[in-house]
């Protein structure tokens, strides 16, 4: 997945272009910048690539999720439904707004189960946030239908799935708002950065103002701008956008390499009847950022994960035992460890986490191994790796 693996002259030229003109801020300084607008250029590229009307770059993927929710009016006391399998950023972004994350089970797509989403809806539910984990998606038509039926906002965290699609639509462009991350380990990197995409003009204007202190961005005199509402600073810098601009031009190349490497490993692992793969819904096309497969049980998955590490099969994760991506290890959330006081409403809203079990998700995550697909491998390396993986798995089965 990581764009940083293939990194060089193009990125350097873009960054030097910014340094040579001296304006590192994305807004204003019109006279000084001599027509250099890297952030605007990257927004235009993303708009084109993701077939969306509006793009707002921000400082990170986590900021993108918060800004997306805020732009659609999600705030204090609102409930946002999200999966138990994601990155910790998902609930951070919700809680930053004083809203309540309502965690629900995933299914064999490794994304939220539409039935679990529907069962979690209360009068306080405002939004459903799907996470397109490890480059693939859930049953988006079913999830969209639930959102339509209950008049809920659909937000897509597509931070790990840039380049994937569903019935021809790019992941991120299906819901009311979509979020991307361009941190250092994502398919396209800016170093740090993120984007909110939407077809809703009002949400876009909100995102534009909110991510820059509420400034209205009208006219050329920044000091004369007014503030229709309160905002924060989630701006991206021109230096970061410059890196992203070089990378986005290579997205197709990166995706092609990912798919090729993924396919070699998958075809090789397919020789083992006990190995099954995550379900990709009909009409779905993965970004091929990860290859996710299931082993028969937890014990075998643990053993395989251990042996992969011992034998140098790097970048494979057993998320059941991983501290970052699955609820089982999110003690700081379930026991609510905060640096500062949290509202009693949010505290009460999170009480369910102390007792709720997620047996259905456990049954998938316990058996799942997720292998990052790297861009820098040679064909020889991919083939050797695949053969090594088969050997290890066969030994353990
Ligand atoms: C990386 C990631 C984020 C957060 O992105 P940052 O740019 O690191 O803040 C959010 N959600 C998912 C699923 C991610 O993988």
The CB of 159 under 6 Å from ligand 1? The reply is yes
Cα 89 to ligand 1 centroid, rounded to whole Å: 6
Domain range list for the chain: 3-250, 252-396
Q: In testing the pocket of ligand 1, which one of 57, 62, 190 has its CB within 8 Å of the most ligand atoms?
A: 62
Digits of tens for pLDDT over the chain (397 positions)?
Answer: 677 888 889 999 999 999 999 999 999 999 999 999 999 999 999 999 999 999 999 999 999 999 999 999 999 999 999 999 999 999 999 999 999 999 999 999 999 999 999 999 999 999 999 999 999 999 999 999 999 999 999 999 999 999 999 999 999 999 999 999 999 999 999 999 999 999 999 999 999 999 999 999 998 888 889 999 999 999 999 999 999 999 999 999 999 999 999 999 999 999 999 999 999 999 999 999 999 999 999 999 999 999 999 999 999 999 999 999 999 999 999 999 999 999 999 999 999 999 999 999 999 999 999 999 999 999 999 999 999 999 999 999 9
The CB of 208 under 6 Å from ligand 1? The reply is no
* CATH classification for the domain delimited by 252-396, as one of 3.40.50.300, 3.40.630.30, 3.40.190.10, 3.90.1150.10: 3.90.1150.10
The CB of 86 under 6 Å from ligand 1? The reply is yes
DSSP per position, 311-344: TT--SEE-GGG-TTTBGGG-HHHHTT--SS---H
The CB of 62 under 6 Å from ligand 1? The reply is yes
List CB contacts of 286: < 8 A, sequence separation 6 or more. 135, 136, 161, 164, 262, 280
Closest residue by CA, ligand 1 atom 5: 61
Q: Are 151 and 124 in contact (CB under 8 A)?
A: no
Q: Are 269 and 316 in contact (CB under 8 A)?
A: no
User: Where in the sequence numbering do the catalytic residues fall?
Assistant: 186
* pTM higher than the cut 0.85: yes
The CB of 236 under 6 Å from ligand 1? The reply is no
Cα 134 to ligand 1 centroid, rounded to whole Å: 11
The CB of 176 under 6 Å from ligand 1? The reply is no
* CATH classification for the domain delimited by 3-250, as one of 3.40.640.10, 3.20.20.70, 3.40.50.300, 3.90.1150.10: 3.40.640.10
* Phi, psi of 391, rounded to the nearest 5 degrees: -60, -50
Cα 65 to ligand 1 centroid, rounded to whole Å: 9
- 125-158 core/surface letters (b: 16 or more CB in 10 A; e: else): bbbbbbbbbbbbbbbbebbbebbeeeebbbbbbb
């Amino acid at each position: 997945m990581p764009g940083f693996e293939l990194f060089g002259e193009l990125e350097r030229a873009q960054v030097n272009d910014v340094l040579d003109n001296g304006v590192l801020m994305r807004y204003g300084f019109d006279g000084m910048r001599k027509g250099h607008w890297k952030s605007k250029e990257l927004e235009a590229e993303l708009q084109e690539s993701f077939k969306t009307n509006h793009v707002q770059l921000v400082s990170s993927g986590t900021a993108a999720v918060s800004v997306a929710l805020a732009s659609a009016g999600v705030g204090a006391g609102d409930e946002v439904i999200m999966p138990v399998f994601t990155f910790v950023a998902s609930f951070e972004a919700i809680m930053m707004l004083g809203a309540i994350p309502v965690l629900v089970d995933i299914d064999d797509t490794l994304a939220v189960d539409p039935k679990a989403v529907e069962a979690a809806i209360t009068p306080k539910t405002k939004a459903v946030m799907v996470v397109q984990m490890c480059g693939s998606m859930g049953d988006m038509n079913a999830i969209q239908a639930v959102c339509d039926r209950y008049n809920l906002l659909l937000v897509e965290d597509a931070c790990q799935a840039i380049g994937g699609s569903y019935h021809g639509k790019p992941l991120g462009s299906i819901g009311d708002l979509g979020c991307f991350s361009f941190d250092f380990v994502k398919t396209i990197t800016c170093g740090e950065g993120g984007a909110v995409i939407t077809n809703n003009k009002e949400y876009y204007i909100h995102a534009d103002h909110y991510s820059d202190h509420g400034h209205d961005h009208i006219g050329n005199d920044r000091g004369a701008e007014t503030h229709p509402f309160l905002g924060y600073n989630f701006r991206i810098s021109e230096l970061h956008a410059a890196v992203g601009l070089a990378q986005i031009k290579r997205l197709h190349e990166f995706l092609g390499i990912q798919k090729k490497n993924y396919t070699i490993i998958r075809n090789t692992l397919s020789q083992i009847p006990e190995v099954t793969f995550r379900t990709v819904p009909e009409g779905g096309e993965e970004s091929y950022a990860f290859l996710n497969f299931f082993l028969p049980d937890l014990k075998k998955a643990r053993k395989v994960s251990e042996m992969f590490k011992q034998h140098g099969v790097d970048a494979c994760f057993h998320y059941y035992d991983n501290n970052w991506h699955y609820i089982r290890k999110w003690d700081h959330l379930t026991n609510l460890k905060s640096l500062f006081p949290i509202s009693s409403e949010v505290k009460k809203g999170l009480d369910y986490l102390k007792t709720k079990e997620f047996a259905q998700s456990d049954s998938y995550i316990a058996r799942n191994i997720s292998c990052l697909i790297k861009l820098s491998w040679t064909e020889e390396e991919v083939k050797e790796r695949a053969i090594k993986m088969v050997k290890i798995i066969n030994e353990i089965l």
